[in-house]
């Protein structure tokens, strides 16, 4: 397809062959809604669903991947896949120039391995290095993207027993708050370049076929499911479809910037979550895992499950986002239907 530059955008020659004004406007409006988006972390639990949604919306995607051969191009045939090492700007930096948006979900999985000193360093560096490379590419771009949507987590707040946690809440103590703080600090530097920066502080993402829920459901399938620790800790959750919809909402809503809590409006404790999970799976929730057992098994990582926060999605409410799954029972019924 050939393209014609017009007011800073490239439109297809098809638009300029329209003989009637209304046809010209219709084609132009359709092509104006298409965006070029550079995406990292697109092969993960959230990224795969996000790409499906972006492709269905006719956006042009440049996916940065450590292993391009692992991407199923028979499904994502409209996605351009570029090799990168997760650390440095490469040939793909040219794709950032002229892109409408960059979405960064790259990072070593938090719960992949026990938190040894080496693994903790890998978790931090994988996020900081990737984000720094993206910001460096934005610096080099002559026409910079309008927005950087960067992943983060509610782990930023650490352990909060009673307070409602909005985006204005202070940073907590411990490893996860440090990870999130370093990650967000690197992303915020894009704001100095005139780029709108959105930091998605995500709760536990639940959905079919992966994520934390797949691991949590295993003992329930074996009839030995139950809450972890006291069960009284808050458990901020969000359905994967809402995460994807919130990314698109942030893409299109220029008023949204800075940290954004991505958690369902219904606050539940760990015990309430496990009771609902057992009900959805038609299994009992009766076998709690004592705190000391979890600490023996997971070490420092156990704190991720033994503590929580009552997270409130205040910015999303203020900007008019409507959750598809605001209630836990409805979310789990969708997943296990």
**Residue 74 structure tokens:** 């028979």
* Residue 298 included in any domain: no
* Residue 234 included in any domain: no
**Is the separation of the CB atoms in 150 and 251 below 8 Å?**
no
Identify the domain containing residue 30 by its residue range: 13-205+239-265+312-324
* Residue 125 included in any domain: yes
pLDDT of residue 20: 56
Q: Kindly report the pTM of this predicted structure.
A: 0.88
* Residue 59 included in any domain: yes
pLDDT > 70 in the chain, percent: 88
pLDDT of residue 159: 95
Res. 23: pLDDT tops 70: no
Residue 113's Cβ-count burial label (10 Å; 0-12, 13-18, 19+) is middle
* Residue 183 included in any domain: yes
Q: What is the DSSP letter of 236?
A: -
* Residue 281 included in any domain: no
Domain count of the fold of the chain: 1
Q: Which of the two residues, 306 and 30, has the higher pLDDT score?
A: 306
CATH number (domain holding residue 154): 3.40.50.720
* Residue 260 included in any domain: yes
In angstroms, the CA 245 to CA 73 distance is 23
C-alpha distance across the termini of the chain, in Å: 43
* Residue 331 included in any domain: no
């Amino acid at each position: 397809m050939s393209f014609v530059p017009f007011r800073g955008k490239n439109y297809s020659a098809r638009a300029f062959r329209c003989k009637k004004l209304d046809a010209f406007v219709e084609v132009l409006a359709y092509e104006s809604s298409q965006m070029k988006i550079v995406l990292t972390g697109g092969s993960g639990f959230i990224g795969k669903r996000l790409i499906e949604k972006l492709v269905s919306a006719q956006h042009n995607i440049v996916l940065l991947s450590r292993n391009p051969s692992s991407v199923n191009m028979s499904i994502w045939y409209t996605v351009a896949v570029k090799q990168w090492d997760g650390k440095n700007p490469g040939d793909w930096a040219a794709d950032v120039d002229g892109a409408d948006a960059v979405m960064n979900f790259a990072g070593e999985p938090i719960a992949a391995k026990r938190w040894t000193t080496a693994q903790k360093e890998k978790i931090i560096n994988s996020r900081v290095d990737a984000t720094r490379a993206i910001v460096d590419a934005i610096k080099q771009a002559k026409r910079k993207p309008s927005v950087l949507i960067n992943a983060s987590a509610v782990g930023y707040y650490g352990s909060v027993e009673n307070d409602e946690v909005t985006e204005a809440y202070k940073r907590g103590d411990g490893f996860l708050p440090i990870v999130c703080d370093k990650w967000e600090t690197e992303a915020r530097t894009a704001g100095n370049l005139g780029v709108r920066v959105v930091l998605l502080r995500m709760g536990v993402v639940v959905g079919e076929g992966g994520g934390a829920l797949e691991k949590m459901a295993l003992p329930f399938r074996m009839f030995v499911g139950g809450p972890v620790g006291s069960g009284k800790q808050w458990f901020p959750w969000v359905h994967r479809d809402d995460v994807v919809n919130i990314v698109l909402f942030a893409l299109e809503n220029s008023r949204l910037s800075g940290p954004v809590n991505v958690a369902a409006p219904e606050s539940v404790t760990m015990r309430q979550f496990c009771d609902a999970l057992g009900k959805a799976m038609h299994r009992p929730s009766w076998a709690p895992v004592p705190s000391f057992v979890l600490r023996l098994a997971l070490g420092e990582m156990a704190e991720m499950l033994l503590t929580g926060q009552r997270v409130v999605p205040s910015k999303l409410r203020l900007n008019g986002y409507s959750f598809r799954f605001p209630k836990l029972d409805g979310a789990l019924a969708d997943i296990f239907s």
